[in-house]
Amino acid sequence: MRRTTSPEVLLRLHRQAGVPLRAQLEGQLREAIRGGRLRPGVQLPSTRVLAADLGLSRGLVVAAYEQLLAEGYLTAHSGSATRVAGREAEPARATAVGAEPAPPQWRYDFRPGVPDAALFPRRAWLTSLRRVLASPSDAVLGYPDARGPEQARTALAAYLNRVRGTAARADRIVMCTGFTQGLRLVSRALHRRGVAAIGIEDPCHAAHRAAILSTGLEVIPIPVDDRGLRVERLESSGAGAVFVTPAHQYPTGAVLAPERRAAVLDWAARTGALVIEDDYDAEYRYDREPIGTLQGLAPDRVVLAGSVSKTLAPALRVGWLVLPADLAPEVAALKYEEDLGSPALDQLAYADFLDRGELDRHLRRTRLSYRRRRDSLVTALQRHLPGLRVRGVAAGLHLMVELSPGASETEVVAAAGRHSVRVYGVQTHRAREQGPPALLLGYGRLGSAAIAEGVTRLAAVLA
């Protein structure tokens, strides 16, 4: 196979223009360098390749390059390629419309719900990607099934059935670009079916409330207490569906109590409503038994939604929906309409990663690490802020700390920021219910020493 490492450069010569071809070539290269289209340091094609590409004699191209070398536009050292001269230009200043100033850097960022990028299993993931690309079939590079490659859906169904107690089947799965797209797709499907309003937990992740509202559905906030969603409030709500986080309520951390799990499924069966179950961080649990999914109990009434954003990395944007039989084709059609399918190679890599037991291994390792961080955070809070109530410690990558009733979340967040500690208020996630002021503290990305120092500073602020 013939290989060339020559870079491509767009040059157009006009043979009828009456201007000598060599002058045109020099002029275009000069223009491209002055205008920044060819940046300092960029390698030019070899004279042989460029001559062949443009249908010119090699001598003509050599002469043009020599002229530009003499003028200082190009550099060449014997034995190495010809490059555009000059230092690498300064990166463009952030003055363009819409450009954001660089965010402030916090030394102690308690961002909730993000895993530690340093724990990402790079080597094992690379192996999976390599194995996918080594596939003898070129089909993996074609347009995928909009639901995701069958192999990916099959591997995911097997994993979810084994670990999350679902009743998943490959033909009822739609892979999507993260959980958030999945939530929007189901909401759109419900809206098309004539559902006017969906019950949501209050508080509920503000971005997810916004995603639902963007599809035209109304939201009906239903309060949450220590036992999760107040399911009895659904009865008179008129909602045609409900969106819940049963294994680990976001953001309070409550677990939906067994009788409420039964009640929500009963409500759905009686009224024909749909339950959307966000199973976002169920694999991270520390001092309690795993809690199976609602979907496994009522696969025809529940949509299970999940993603790798907590277990692996949000950058992958690999998410999924496990759908009831009657809804699966509709949602698959919407997915096709929206973007023809999510990137398939990452889904196939995830399938390989699951099939080789790598996720099990990764979870066993990271669960220990996150548990240690959780313990450090709980210990630091007990020591430095013993009067405050801490909720949702048994699972996930964050917990919630209730502040004294008169405290202002906004002021505490701002004051902590001045000490390089970033904490997050709960208020933005509340729709209607007024609850005590509270902070979300994520421990996914901080080591034990940073957690201890961050809490010490936070306590000084609160004092």
At closest approach, how far in Å is the CB of 112 from ligand PLP?
7
Nearer Cβ to ligand PLP, position 314 or 329? 314
Beta bridge partners of 391: 400
- Of 24, 318, 39, 386, the C-alpha closest to 156 is 318
Tokens 């084994």 belong to which residue?
A: 162
If one asks whether residue 148 binds ligand PLP (CB under 6 A), the answer comes out as no
If one asks whether residue 319 binds ligand PLP (CB under 6 A), the answer comes out as yes
Q: Treating both helix axes as pointing N-terminal to C-terminal, what angle do 47-54 and 58-71 enclose, rounded to 10 degrees?
A: 120
If one asks whether residue 149 binds ligand PLP (CB under 6 A), the answer comes out as no
If one asks whether residue 293 binds ligand PLP (CB under 6 A), the answer comes out as no
Specify the stretch interacting with ligand PLP by CB under 6 A; choose among 167-175, 178-186, 225-233, 323-331: 178-186
Total residues interacting with ligand PLP, rule: CB under 6 A: 13
If one asks whether residue 278 binds ligand PLP (CB under 6 A), the answer comes out as yes
Helix ranges restricted to H, 72-177: 122-133, 150-163
State the DSSP code for 426: S
If one asks whether residue 203 binds ligand PLP (CB under 6 A), the answer comes out as no
Whether omega for the bond prior to residue 203 falls within 30 degrees of 0, making it cis, is yes
Query: Taking the C-alpha atoms of 255, 261, 265 and 266 in order, what is their torsion angle to the nearest 10 degrees?
Result: -150
At closest approach, how far in Å is the CB of 12 from ligand PLP?
44
Q: Which of 65, 179, 243, 424 binds ligand PLP (CB under 6 A)?
A: 179
Tokens 């200082």 belong to which residue?
A: 72
If one asks whether residue 47 binds ligand PLP (CB under 6 A), the answer comes out as no
Beta bridge partners of 215: none
| DSSP 3-state of 315 | helix
Contact indicator for 114, 397 with CB cutoff of 8 Å: yes
Element (H, E) at 353: helix 344-355
Spatial separation of the C-alpha atoms in residues 433 and 106, rounded to whole Å: 31
At closest approach, how far in Å is the CB of 180 from ligand PLP?
3
Spatial separation of the C-alpha atoms in residues 356 and 151, rounded to whole Å: 14
If one asks whether residue 243 binds ligand PLP (CB under 6 A), the answer comes out as no
Nearer Cβ to ligand PLP, position 40 or 314? 314
- Of 417, 434, 437, 411, the C-alpha closest to 426 is 437
If one asks whether residue 343 binds ligand PLP (CB under 6 A), the answer comes out as no
Q: Which of 309, 311, 366, 376 binds ligand PLP (CB under 6 A)?
A: 309
Q: Which of 154, 307, 342, 376 binds ligand PLP (CB under 6 A)?
A: 307
Nearer Cβ to ligand PLP, position 82 or 245? 245
Spatial separation of the C-alpha atoms in residues 151 and 165, rounded to whole Å: 20
Q: Which of 243, 250, 267, 320 binds ligand PLP (CB under 6 A)?
A: 250
Nearer Cβ to ligand PLP, position 21 or 313? 313
At closest approach, how far in Å is the CB of 280 from ligand PLP?
3
- How many helices, marked H, and strands, marked E, lie in the chain? 13, 16
At closest approach, how far in Å is the CB of 279 from ligand PLP?
9
Q: Which of 314, 329, 417, 435 binds ligand PLP (CB under 6 A)?
A: 314
Distances (CA, A) of 448 to 41, 362, 386: 44, 20, 19
Whether omega for the bond prior to residue 251 falls within 30 degrees of 0, making it cis, is yes
- The amino acid present at 81, given as its one-letter code, is A
At closest approach, how far in Å is the CB of 167 from ligand PLP?
21
At closest approach, how far in Å is the CB of 437 from ligand PLP?
20
Nearer Cβ to ligand PLP, position 26 or 278? 278
- The amino acid present at 437, given as its one-letter code, is P
Structure tokens, 176: 């999507």
If one asks whether residue 342 binds ligand PLP (CB under 6 A), the answer comes out as no
State the DSSP code for 306: E
The pattern of x and - marking residues 398 through 437 that bind ligand PLP according to CB under 6 A reads ----------------------------------------
Spatial separation of the C-alpha atoms in residues 267 and 289, rounded to whole Å: 26
At closest approach, how far in Å is the CB of 253 from ligand PLP?
11
Q: Which of 172, 184, 188, 205 binds ligand PLP (CB under 6 A)?
A: 205
Q: Which of 65, 280, 284, 443 binds ligand PLP (CB under 6 A)?
A: 280
If one asks whether residue 46 binds ligand PLP (CB under 6 A), the answer comes out as no
Which residues of this chain interact with ligand PLP, rule CB under 6 A?
113, 178-180, 205, 245, 250, 278, 280, 307, 309, 314, 319
